């Protein structure tokens, strides 16, 4: 049975890589062609410090975002909070909780994004009307994962997504599905995840109500109530496949060491609203202290990321920090705290 699962997984992996290579040969620009862009903002400090290359290594609460299969690595109830300081006063928050159960792991995760107050402008009052509004988003998901064999794990997340701009809202449901496989090839781990597969989003609300003359060429007609029509927009479907390899570690095939661990990671990413890109990262861990770095290649926001973490209280608390370089826009700071029982 285990052999069948592994063979099927490897077959799908090869097909996915072939599709990735073939799709990437088309050079058209798809930027801005999907809704709910906040879903593309990475959460937590561990993965973002490694450039987002985490799909194969994911084994903590942040796996709720990167690969739901990874929550099988959570050995006790754990709560993670993450805060990201984005540009122009935009805040991005994440809260997640994972609980081991008899048949696997169950988790819940919520992402919040808020723009802060902005002033309303109109064609007649381009400098502002004196009224303010805000743009906000939320994604709330329920996850379940379990190991199907001693080397293969799978996970699923069902989530509700909503965007709000003043009095207009758009919402839909989507799911993420992921898997992880530990191979015999130098102890390499392989991970795959498809995120944000679901319905389209369409803004609706009272600000779309208007009045109009249905026969402007005939005088004397009263204005009638009308509703402005908005378009449907797809979610940013994201497919990632990656590998994790311990160069140094307790299970390393290169340098076996129970005190130190150095892991090398590479992820390939495909999105329906952007061109393909590659991320790579390193994580070094020793005696509760972690150092991380990563780089994002072939993307508009290509750049270096750095970070680290420290475990205190006999491993009950993990504090993390990450800095991501976005070129001319500057750096983005992230902070996280994970608590375990």
Mean pLDDT of 313-339: 93
CA distance 269 to 277: 5
Mean pLDDT of 80-96: 93
pLDDT, tens digit, 9 for 90 and up, residues 235-260: 999 999 999 999 999 999 999 999 99
Under the banding of pLDDT at 50, 70 and 90, the label for residue 31 is: low
Instruction: List the domains of the chain with CATH numbers.
Output: 35-340 (2.40.160.60)
Task: DSSP for 273-332, please give it.
Answer: TEEEEEEEEEEEEETTEEEEEEEEESSTT-EEEEEEEEEETTTTEEEEEEEEE-GGG-EE
The predicted pLDDT at position 8 comes to 52
Query: Is pLDDT of 197 > 80?
Result: yes
Count Cα neighbours of 328 within 13 Å in the Cβ-side half-sphere: 1
pLDDT, tens digit, 9 for 90 and up, residues 128-154: 888 888 899 999 999 999 999 999 999
Mean pLDDT of 98-104: 94
Distance of CA 282 to the CA centre of its chain: 19
User: Which residue has better confidence, 335 or 274?
Assistant: 335
């Amino acid at each position: 049975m285990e052999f069948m699962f592994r063979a099927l997984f490897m077959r799908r992996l090869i097909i996915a890589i072939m599709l990735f290579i073939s799709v990437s040969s088309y050079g058209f620009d798809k930027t801005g062609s999907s809704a709910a862009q906040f879903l593309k903002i990475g959460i937590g400090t561990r993965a973002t410090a490694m450039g987002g290359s985490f799909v194969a290594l994911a084994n903590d609460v942040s796996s709720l975002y990167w690969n739901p299969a990874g929550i099988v690595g959570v050995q006790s109830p754990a709560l993670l909070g993450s805060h990201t300081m984005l540009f122009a006063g935009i805040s991005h928050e994440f809260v997640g909780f994972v609980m081991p159960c008899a048949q696997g792991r169950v988790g819940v995760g919520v992402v919040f994004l808020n723009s802060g107050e902005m002033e309303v402008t109109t064609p007649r009052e381009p400098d502002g009307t004196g009224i303010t509004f805000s743009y906000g988003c939320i994604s709330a998901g329920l996850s379940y994962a379990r190991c199907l064999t001693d080397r293969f794990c799978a996970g699923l997340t069902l989530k509700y997504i909503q965007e709000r701009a003043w009095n207009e809202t758009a919402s839909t449901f989507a799911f993420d599905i992921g898997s992880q496989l530990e191979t015999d090839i130098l102890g390499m781990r392989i991970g795959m995840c498809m995120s944000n597969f679901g319905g389209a989003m369409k803004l609706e609300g009272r600000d779309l109500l208007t009045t109009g003359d249905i026969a402007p060429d005939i005088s004397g007609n009263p204005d009638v109530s009308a509703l402005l029509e908005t378009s449907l927009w797809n979610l940013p479907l994201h497919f990632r496949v990656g590998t994790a390899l311990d160069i140094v570690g307790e299970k390393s095939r290169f340098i076996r060491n129970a005190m130190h661990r150095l892991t090398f990671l590479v992820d390939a990413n495909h999105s329906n609203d952007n061109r393909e890109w590659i991320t790579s990262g390193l994580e070094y861990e020793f005696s509760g202290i972690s150092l991380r770095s990563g780089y994002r290649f072939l993307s508009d926001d290509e750049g270096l990321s750095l970070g680290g973490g420290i475990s205190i209280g006999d491993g009950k608390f993990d504090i993390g920090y990450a800095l991501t370089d976005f070129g001319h826009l500057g750096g983005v700071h992230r902070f996280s705290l994970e608590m375990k029982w």
